[in-house]
């Protein structure tokens, strides 16, 4: 009886070791812990500031996930757009101070995102998220602008509009007018008309951004776009529109590291020793009963 029980323990231990080793090398599953990160239910779970709306592929740019995408504009007059739920009024942009307040930023933080550029007005969205250490924030963005350095006939100096995202009072640039490649035709002022990609001279096209969290906690995540007044200009800055599309915002868990060589060797030795002991026990003869 003792021999049989010990054999079962050794065999069971071997199976456990093999299973543990196998699963330790598998990546952790993706985590979708940001509510409504693809804007399929509009701005539910998001707070919107200024000219923000949810649009679909009728905008002229296909969403990267699902059917919808967030649209943020620096247009100061407001627009009428056709969104996933029919005709909707898109409010005008708001002051940079309102954006800073809504995203828990200082005015200096907002103005320091792009050197020598003062934020004038724009729009933003935000959401409170809970993260664990090692998770990665991933999202897609597309910055569009009608700013053009050769467009002096538009009546204002050329300025550098810019887009960004924020986390707990820290701001990170995504793209600006100076660094955006031309991809389209120009309609410099989309005031009062349905917004679409043709309203802008240039766009980055959808890009992917990732940010790894070193510290767990609750963070305020924000996305924004603003008109920028670039030094030494003294006027303009809010009469030529730019926009930001955002989609597919989610958190990804860290990938589990593969076992170290020493760990693998220890596991292998344990299995070998167990097998050898089991073989020895099988070779022993039971004493005959008298």
Strand 52-55, strand 217-230: pairing? unpaired
Q: Are 133 and 215 within 8 A, CB to CB?
A: yes
Contact residues for 148 (Cβ-Cβ < 8 A; gap 6+): 154, 158, 186, 188, 201, 202, 240
How far CA 198 is from CA of 59, 127, 158, 221, in Å, comes to 9, 29, 20, 29
What does the pLDDT read at residue 234?
A: 64
Residue 234 tokens, joined = 């003294």
Q: Is residue 152 part of a domain?
A: yes
Beta-sheet strands, E only, within 182-216: 202-203, 207-212
What does the pLDDT read at residue 7?
A: 54
Place of tokens 């593969």: 258
* Nearest CA-CA partner of 46 in 253, 251, 252, 249: 249
Distance CA 138, CA 100 (A): 23
Distance CA 199, CA 184 (A): 9
Digit-by-digit pLDDT tens for the chain (290 residues) are 445 455 554 444 554 444 444 444 444 444 448 999 999 999 999 999 999 999 999 888 999 999 999 999 998 877 655 555 555 668 889 999 999 999 999 999 999 999 888 999 999 999 999 999 999 999 999 999 888 765 554 444 568 899 999 999 999 999 998 877 655 444 444 444 467 787 788 889 999 999 999 999 999 999 999 999 887 776 655 568 899 999 999 999 987 655 555 555 555 555 555 555 455 455 555 555 55
pTM for the predicted model, two decimal places: 0.74
Total number of domains constituting the chain? 1
Distance CA 172, CA 280 (A): 65
What does the pLDDT read at residue 235?
A: 63
Q: Is residue 6 part of a domain?
A: no
What does the pLDDT read at residue 22?
A: 45
Q: Is residue 149 part of a domain?
A: yes
3-state SS, residue 276: helix
Distance CA 100, CA 93 (A): 13
Residue 220 tokens, joined = 């305020």
CATH of the domain at 160: 2.60.120
Distance CA 236, CA 277 (A): 84
Q: Is residue 79 part of a domain?
A: yes
What does the pLDDT read at residue 102?
A: 95
For residue 26, the surrounding DSSP H or E stretch is none
Q: Is residue 30 part of a domain?
A: no
Strand 52-55, strand 69-73: pairing? antiparallel
What does the pLDDT read at residue 87?
A: 56
Q: Is residue 24 part of a domain?
A: no
What does the pLDDT read at residue 90?
A: 81
What does the pLDDT read at residue 73?
A: 92
> Residue 212: which domain range?
47-252
Q: Is residue 219 part of a domain?
A: yes
Contact residues for 34 (Cβ-Cβ < 8 A; gap 6+): 127, 129, 221, 249, 250, 251
What does the pLDDT read at residue 86?
A: 53
Distance CA 208, CA 217 (A): 23
Q: Is residue 162 part of a domain?
A: yes
- The CB-side HSE value for 220 (13 A sphere, CA atoms) comes to 16
- Measured N-to-C along each axis, helices 2-24 and 261-283 cross at an angle, to the nearest 10 degrees, of 160
Residue 236 tokens, joined = 């303009």
3-state SS, residue 100: helix
């Amino acid at each position: 009886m003792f021999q049989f029980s010990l054999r079962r323990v050794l065999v069971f231990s071997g199976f456990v070791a093999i299973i543990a080793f196998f699963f330790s090398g598998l990546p952790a599953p993706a985590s979708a812990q940001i509510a409504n990160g693809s804007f399929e239910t509009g701005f539910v779970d998001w707070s919107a500031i200024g000219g923000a709306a949810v649009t679909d592929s009728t905008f002229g740019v296909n969403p990267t996930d699902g059917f919808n995408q967030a649209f943020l504009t620096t247009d100061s007059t407001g627009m009428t757009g056709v969104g996933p739920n029919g005709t909707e009024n898109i409010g005008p942009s708001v002051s940079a101070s309102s954006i800073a307040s809504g995203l828990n930023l200082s005015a200096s933080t907002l103005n320091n995102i792009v050197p020598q550029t003062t934020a004038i007005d724009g729009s933003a969205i935000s959401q409170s998220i809970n993260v664990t250490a090692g998770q990665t924030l991933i999202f897609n963005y597309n910055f569009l602008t009608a700013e053009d350095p050769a467009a002096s006939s538009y009546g204002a100096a050329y300025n550098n509009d810019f887009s960004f995202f924020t986390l707990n009072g820290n701001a990170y640039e995504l793209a600006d007018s100076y660094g955006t490649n031309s991809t389209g035709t120009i309609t410099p002022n989309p005031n009062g008309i349905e917004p679409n990609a043709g309203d802008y001279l240039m766009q980055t096209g959808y890009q992917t951004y990732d940010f790894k969290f070193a510290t767990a906690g609750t963070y305020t995540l924000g996305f924004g776009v603003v008109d920028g007044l670039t030094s030494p200009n003294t006027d303009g800055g809010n009469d030529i529109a730019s926009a930001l599309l955002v989609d597919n915002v989610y958190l990804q868990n860290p990938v589990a590291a593969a076992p170290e060589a020493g760990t693998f060797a220890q596991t292998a030795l344990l299995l070998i020793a167990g097998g050898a002991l089991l073989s020895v026990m099988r070779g022993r003869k039971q004493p005959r009963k008298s």
